[in-house]
Amino acid sequence: MAPPRLFVISGPSGVGKSTILRGLLETVSGLRFAVSHTTRPRRAGEVDGRDYHFVSDEEFDRLTAAGAFLEWERVHDHRYGTSRAALDGGAGDLVIEVDVKGAATLREKVPSAVSIFIGPPSFEDLRLRLAGRARESEAEVRRRLRTAEKELPLARDYDHRLVNEDLGPTVEKVAAIVRAARAEAPGGSGDARR
Ligand code: 5GP
């Protein structure tokens, strides 16, 4: 049986990654979401173990010390990590959403990973989307936009770069990347679970 493939998705806050991921998981069969750990508080509608493993700072420290994470980063005041366990076991390919630094680490540790960067049509569009969802304070929106300025140039390091103009076509483009990777002969570049 072919080893599972790992698809790594990144993009600035507000670009629509979570919605795209939901659409992708509904569109492509045999794909699982690798659930990260985070110390950030749960948002309304989020489910522990489905969206994230929500843990305390102490628990995150303990897991870090135990070497449980393949990578972890501090993003906007909280810590987020990909556990080795999240990429282990179970059938099917995996998709994970990480920040740009986490993606760089995963590309290094899992050379067979397929990385996809999702960008906004324009910086102004991103500003409007972040302000429009009214989830963060104005100061927080400004902060996320400053982070986005640093993230957008790093799109060049990804295997694929997409612009999220419209949800449906973007989901279809990501699905096409997954299908194309699956159609390739196993290249011997390794198992996603290393
Ligand atoms: P949010 O709090 O909005 O869910 O996510 C904030 C940021 O953390 C996003 O850029 C997301 O991609 C990133 N993130 C989520 N899980 C992980 C992870 O396991 N590792 C890293 N490095 N970043 C993550």
> How remote is the CA of residue 104 from the centroid of ligand 1, in Å?
13
Report d(CA 177, CA 193) in Å as an integer: 20
Ligand 1 atom having least distance to the Cα of 18: 4
Which amino acid is present at 91? A
Report d(CA 104, CA 95) in Å as an integer: 15
Query: Which one, of 32, 102, 41, lies nearest residue 73 by Cα?
Result: 102
Residue nearest to atom 14 of ligand 1 (CA): 98
> How remote is the CA of residue 185 from the centroid of ligand 1, in Å?
31
**Against a cut of 0.85, is the pTM above it?**
yes
In this structure, the number of other CB atoms found within 10 A of the CB of residue 102 comes to 23
**All residues at 6 or more sequence positions from 112 whose CB lies less than 8 Å from its CB, including other chains:** 3, 5, 6, 187, 189, 190, 191, 192
Query: Which one, of 172, 150, 152, lies nearest residue 161 by Cα?
Result: 152
Grouping H, G, I as helix, E, B as strand and the rest as coil, residue 50 is coil
Of 6, 98, 110, the one to substitute when testing ligand 1's pocket (max ligand atoms within 8 A of C-beta) is 98
Which amino acid is present at 141? V
Two tokens, residue 163: 């612009």
> How remote is the CA of residue 36 from the centroid of ligand 1, in Å?
8
> How remote is the CA of residue 175 from the centroid of ligand 1, in Å?
21
Cβ of 11 below 6 Å from ligand 1: no
For the chain, give the number of residues.
194
Of 19, 80, 84, the one to substitute when testing ligand 1's pocket (max ligand atoms within 8 A of C-beta) is 80
Say which residue the tokens 């493993």 belong to.
53
Query: Which one, of 191, 153, 22, lies nearest residue 97 by Cα?
Result: 22
Say which residue the tokens 């049986």 belong to.
1
Q: What is the pLDDT of residues 114-150, one digit of tens each?
A: 999 999 999 999 999 999 987 888 999 999 999 999 9
In this structure, the number of other CB atoms found within 10 A of the CB of residue 164 comes to 23
**Cα 161 to the center of its chain, rounded Å:** 14
Report d(CA 75, CA 131) in Å as an integer: 19
> How remote is the CA of residue 90 from the centroid of ligand 1, in Å?
22
Binned average pLDDT, 10 residues per bin, the chain of 194 residues: 86 94 96 96 94 98 98 95 90 94 96 97 94 87 94 97 97 98 68 46
Cβ of 80 below 6 Å from ligand 1: yes
Residue nearest to atom 2 of ligand 1 (CA): 40
Report d(CA 192, CA 194) in Å as an integer: 6
